[in-house]
Amino acid sequence: MTVEPQHDFPVSWEQLHRDAKALAWRLSEKGPWKQIVAITRGGLVPAAIVARELEMRLVDTFCVSSYDHMDQVNITVLKEVSGDGTDTLIIDDLVDTGTTAKLVREKLPNAHFATIYAKPAGRPMVDTFVTEVSQNTWIHFPWDLSLQFARPIAADDETNN
């Protein structure tokens, strides 16, 4: 079995803002909704941008914990949202394996689920997304990054030869 190399996809604040605005643009024709539910923590910033762009004021959170630094682990629900999701727009930054999305969909089956980024394994769980990335891509969100030296790609290739 061949293991595909891990790819890194760093996202700047500017790119995240552009992509969240693009998501809002796509969603503007699909509403109206009465509320936005942000999946914490990754969905908080995109939900704020979408809420502004769609002029929505009612924003709630569905709080889950499913990741440690690099791996998805057992999912823990910390806070739910009542109802079945009718007139609800769910926002998250990313659908990866679809584990979190599946759980939220079970709790809010009538909601519209939207993410900025989607990986193939989780892609069927969302209704709207902006960018699809490969399953072996690790997206580095701006809230998880600090400025530091980055080795040139060619330097990485030289160490692998």
Domain with 21 in it: what CATH number?
Answer: 3.40.50.2020
Q: What is the pLDDT of residues 91-106, one digit of tens each?
A: 999 999 999 999 999 9
CA distance 126 to 129: 7
| Residue at token pair 């701006």 | 142
How big is the CA angle at 54 (ends 26 and 88), to the nearest 5 degrees? Answer: 80
Per-residue DSSP letter, 127:
S
Residue 74 lies in a domain: yes
Residue 142 lies in a domain: yes
Residue 123 lies in a domain: yes
Per-residue DSSP letter, 13:
H
Catalytic residues, by residue number, are 92-93, 96
Q: What is the pTM of this model?
A: 0.85
Residue 79 lies in a domain: yes
pLDDT surpassing 60 at residue 71: no
Residue 116 lies in a domain: yes
Residue 1 lies in a domain: no
How big is the CA angle at 47 (ends 120 and 33), to the nearest 5 degrees? Answer: 95
Residue 4 lies in a domain: no
Alpha helix segments (H runs only) across 28-110: 44-53, 99-107
Q: How many domains is the chain partitioned into structurally?
A: 1
Residue 17 is part of which domain span?
10-160
Lowest mean pLDDT among 22-26, 68-72, 96-100: 68-72
With bands split at pLDDT 50, 70 and 90, how would you rate the model's confidence at 4? low
Q: What is the pLDDT of residues 137-152, one digit of tens each?
A: 999 999 988 877 878 8
Please say whether the beta carbons of 33 and 87 come within 8 A.
yes
How big is the CA angle at 38 (ends 28 and 99), to the nearest 5 degrees? Answer: 110
Lowest mean pLDDT among 27-41, 43-57, 70-84, 92-106: 70-84
